[in-house]
């Protein structure tokens, strides 16, 4: 064990009772507590599913796929490699809270671990031995964690374990955590358990029994929580906290209330008010430093008392789960707060609302439209129709990735009168294939990790709205696509007012388009939302919100 390994402390975050209770936000908020004190942190996330990465998962099942700037070449064994830039959506939360860029190697999946062990066995790494969960799988898990420690040298490494205590898929990871805690010592590791404490309105009481059972499950695995974070509708009364402390073997001061709050960025401040930062630094034997949270506190205030309200329509195909567009939602909130406004998102399921009459009804009173990203043919005609309506109604529009592509299809059909114009992703025989596969994608068969991924440099054309928004001619954004806009068709659209406003550095791939005769109509092939932060909104989202405020003002005059 080297000097840095001796220095790094660990915070392991587990979940109980049910999934989706906010472990990601809790982990990010705890990380912020250490940042308030000037400590260098990193965050890892363990996802127990067998996928190598979440890139092929449906967003409605798993939420959005977050894309990192830097790709990672994952080599599970000699002769095998996978490019990973698509990771769990919780990493978006980590980046937004901490302001740090994460690396794909910080996301461990069961698929990555098992394929490493199995291919290793085939390569002869375990000759003479029976390959087992313990020690071979757990050793590989620990190796991945230690590698992040060695490469990034944090003062504190936070590790969130996905799923819920008791899930069969998570058992090897919890066993690896038990081993690590035993190896480094209890004074260098803190176990934080996030659990649900339901409120029964019929009896007017918080029920602590699910939390007790969840903690007992962990204790049966050799893991005793040091801190219990209690998710609930409202703040826990002292009686409930006392009961949890008694039955779960933790001091009352370490039972932390985490009630529903309207602005998630206040959560680190709520934890600070309950002394969680001091509790953890003391437990880990770190130097107690004053908490410098004032800048964060001032930022949060901007979210909590806006003077304006906006309605942004989001037509798309994954609207049944808002986490499908998690980073987009947050980017809108960031930009709105900076403009002294709040945003109400109007979800439009375009598989159901796909005709001009119903969509006109949906859009006539909104302040802007964000045409969402996605894949495949389901709901496409509704998205195209929504984009078409923004032309004459002059509603501000920002199209993201597939949204930009379908906005281009709408322009081709409506303004160019190209009947049947489409993307070859949906209609391979279109007479006007304004969107087609990128050349290097035409020979690709595998679906996982084979798109154009990660951060790429962009060249912005001077004199465009995009240039006015960014205030510069070059920038870097994150991409995730196989199809792109076809230059020979876009060039013909200039006559009706649609122009290219950004290319890649080769000048061959169109990265952005816009309408010259529209107050704000921009489509981008990249995902600007991945770079938006609560204290530093992305300029494109700021541009959309400012255009929405102006559109609302003009509608009020008419």
Judge whether 423 and 413 are in contact, CB under 8 Å: no
For residue 225, what pLDDT is reported? 97
Asked if residue 248 and residue 167 are part of one domain, the reply reads yes
For residue 5, what pLDDT is reported? 58
For residue 151, what pLDDT is reported? 95
Asked if residue 311 and residue 286 are part of one domain, the reply reads no
Q: Which of 298, 332, 351 is the last residue of a domain?
A: 298
- CA distance to 86, 336, 505, 537, 549, per residue, from 308 (Å): 36, 9, 39, 17, 8
Between CA 76 and CA 112 the distance in angstroms is 7
Catalytic member of 248, 339, 354, 401: 401
Catalytic member of 103, 527, 538, 551: 527
Average pLDDT over residues 123-150: 93
Between CA 256 and CA 274 the distance in angstroms is 7
pLDDT tens digit string along 294-307? 999 999 999 998 99
| Sign of CA pseudo-dihedral 215, 221, 226, 229 | negative
For residue 62, what pLDDT is reported? 78
The 3-state DSSP class for residue 416 equals: coil
Question: DSSP state, 528?
Answer: G
Q: Which of 281, 298, 315 is the last residue of a domain?
A: 298
For residue 201, what pLDDT is reported? 82
Q: What is the mean pLDDT of the chain?
A: 93
Number of domains comprising the chain: 2
Between CA 49 and CA 537 the distance in angstroms is 33
529 among known catalytic residues: yes
For residue 100, what pLDDT is reported? 96
Asked if residue 163 and residue 131 are part of one domain, the reply reads yes
Which CATH number covers residue 513? 3.40.50.880
Asked if residue 133 and residue 208 are part of one domain, the reply reads yes
Residues, the chain: 558
pLDDT tens digit string along 486-545? 999 999 999 999 999 999 999 999 999 999 999 999 999 999 999 999 999 999 999 999
Catalytic member of 230, 283, 529, 538: 529
Average pLDDT over residues 250-268: 96
103 among known catalytic residues: no
527 among known catalytic residues: yes
Judge whether 546 and 339 are in contact, CB under 8 Å: yes
How large a percentage of the chain has pLDDT more than 70?
99
Asked if residue 269 and residue 193 are part of one domain, the reply reads yes
Average pLDDT over residues 150-174: 95
Asked if residue 510 and residue 456 are part of one domain, the reply reads yes
Asked if residue 270 and residue 136 are part of one domain, the reply reads yes
Judge whether 523 and 540 are in contact, CB under 8 Å: no
pLDDT at position 185 over 80: yes
pLDDT at position 2 over 70: no
**Residue range of the domain that includes 472:** 306-557
Phi-psi region of 22 (alpha: psi -120 to 50; beta: other; left: phi over 0): left
Between CA 543 and CA 183 the distance in angstroms is 52
Average pLDDT over residues 129-155: 95
Between CA 495 and CA 486 the distance in angstroms is 16
In terms of average pLDDT, the best of 143-147, 204-208, 505-509 is: 143-147
From the number of C-beta atoms within 10 Å of its C-beta (0-12, 13-18, 19+), residue 477 rates as: buried
Asked if residue 215 and residue 151 are part of one domain, the reply reads yes
Asked if residue 281 and residue 337 are part of one domain, the reply reads no
For residue 558, what pLDDT is reported? 63
Q: Which of 265, 282, 298 is the last residue of a domain?
A: 298
Q: Which residues contact 477 (CB under 8 A, 6 or more apart)?
A: 455, 456, 458, 511, 524, 526, 527, 528, 531
Asked if residue 528 and residue 450 are part of one domain, the reply reads yes
pLDDT at position 1 over 80: no
Asked if residue 423 and residue 547 are part of one domain, the reply reads yes
pLDDT at position 91 over 50: yes
Which CATH number covers residue 271? 3.40.50.300
Concatenate the DSSP letters of all residues of 279-326 into one string: HHHHHTTPPP-----HHHHHHHHHHHS-SEEEEEEEEES-TTSGGGGH
Asked if residue 373 and residue 287 are part of one domain, the reply reads no
């Amino acid at each position: 064990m080297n000097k840095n390994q001796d220095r790094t402390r660990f915070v392991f975050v587990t979940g109980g009772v049910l999934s989706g209770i906010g472990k990601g936000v809790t982990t990010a908020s705890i990380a912020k507590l250490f940042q308030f004190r000037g400590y260098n942190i990193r965050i890892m996330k363990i996802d127990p599913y067998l996928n190598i990465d979440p890139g092929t998962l449906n967003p409605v099942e798993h939420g959005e796929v977050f894309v990192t700037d830097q790709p990672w070449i994952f080599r599970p064994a000699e002769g095998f490699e996978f490019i990973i830039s698509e990771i769990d959506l919780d990493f978006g939360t980590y980046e937004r809270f901490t302001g740090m860029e994460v690396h794909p190697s910080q996301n461990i999946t069961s698929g990555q671990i098992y394929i490493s062990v199995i291919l290793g066995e085939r390569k002869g790494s375990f000759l003479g031995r029976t390959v087992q969960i313990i020690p071979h799988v757990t050793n590989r898990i620990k190796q991945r964690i230690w590698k992040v420690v060695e490469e990034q040298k944090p003062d504190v490494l936070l590790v969130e374990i996905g799923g819920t205590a008791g899930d069969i898929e998570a058992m090897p990871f919890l066993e690896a955590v038990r081993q690590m805690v035993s190896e480094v010592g209890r004074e260098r590791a803190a176990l934080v358990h996030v659990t649900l404490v339901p409120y029964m309105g019929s009896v007017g009481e918080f029920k602590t029994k699910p939390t007790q059972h969840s903690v007992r499950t962990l204790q049966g695995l050799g893991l005793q929580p040091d801190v219990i974070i209690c998710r609930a509708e409202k703040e826990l009364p002292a009686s409930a906290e006392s009961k949890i402390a008694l039955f779960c073997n933790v001091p009352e001061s370490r039972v932390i209330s985490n009630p529903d709050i309207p602005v998630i960025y206040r959560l680190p401040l709520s934890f600070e008010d309950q002394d969680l930062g001091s509790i953890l630094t003391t437990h880990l034997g770190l130097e107690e430093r004053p908490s410098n949270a004032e800048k964060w506190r001032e930022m949060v205030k901007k979210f909590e008392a806006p003077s304006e309200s906006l309605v942004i329509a989001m037509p798309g195909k994954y609207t049944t789960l808002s986490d499908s567009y998690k980073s987009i939602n947050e980017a809108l909130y960031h930009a709105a707060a900076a403009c002294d406004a709040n945003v109400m998102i109007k979800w439009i399921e375009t598989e159901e609302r796909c005709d001009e009459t119903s969509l006109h009804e949906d859009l006539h009173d909104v302040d802007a439209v964000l045409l969402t990203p996605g894949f495949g043919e389901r709901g496409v005609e509704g998205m195209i129709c929504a984009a078409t309506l923004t032309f004459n109604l002059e509603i501000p529009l920002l199209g993201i990735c597939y949204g930009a592509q379908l906005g281009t299809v709408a322009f081709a059909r409506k303004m160019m009168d190209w009947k049947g114009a489409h993307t070859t992703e949906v209609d391979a025989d279109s007479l006007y294939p304004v969107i087609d596969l990128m050349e290097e994608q035409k020979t690709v068969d595998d679906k996982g990790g084979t798109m154009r991924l990660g951060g790429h440099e962009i060249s912005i054309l001077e004199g465009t709205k995009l240039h006015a928004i960014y205030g510069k001619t070059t920038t870097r954004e994150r991409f995730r696509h196989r199809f792109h806009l076809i230059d020979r068709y876009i060039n013909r659209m200039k006559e009706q007012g649609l122009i290219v406003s950004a290319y890649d550095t080769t000048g061959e791939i169109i990265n952005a388009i816009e309408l010259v005769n529209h107050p704000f109509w921009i489509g981008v092939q990249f995902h600007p939302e991945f770079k938006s932060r609560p204290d530093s909104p992305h300029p494109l989202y700021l541009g959309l919100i400012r255009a929405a405020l102006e559109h609302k003002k003009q509608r009020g005059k008419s």
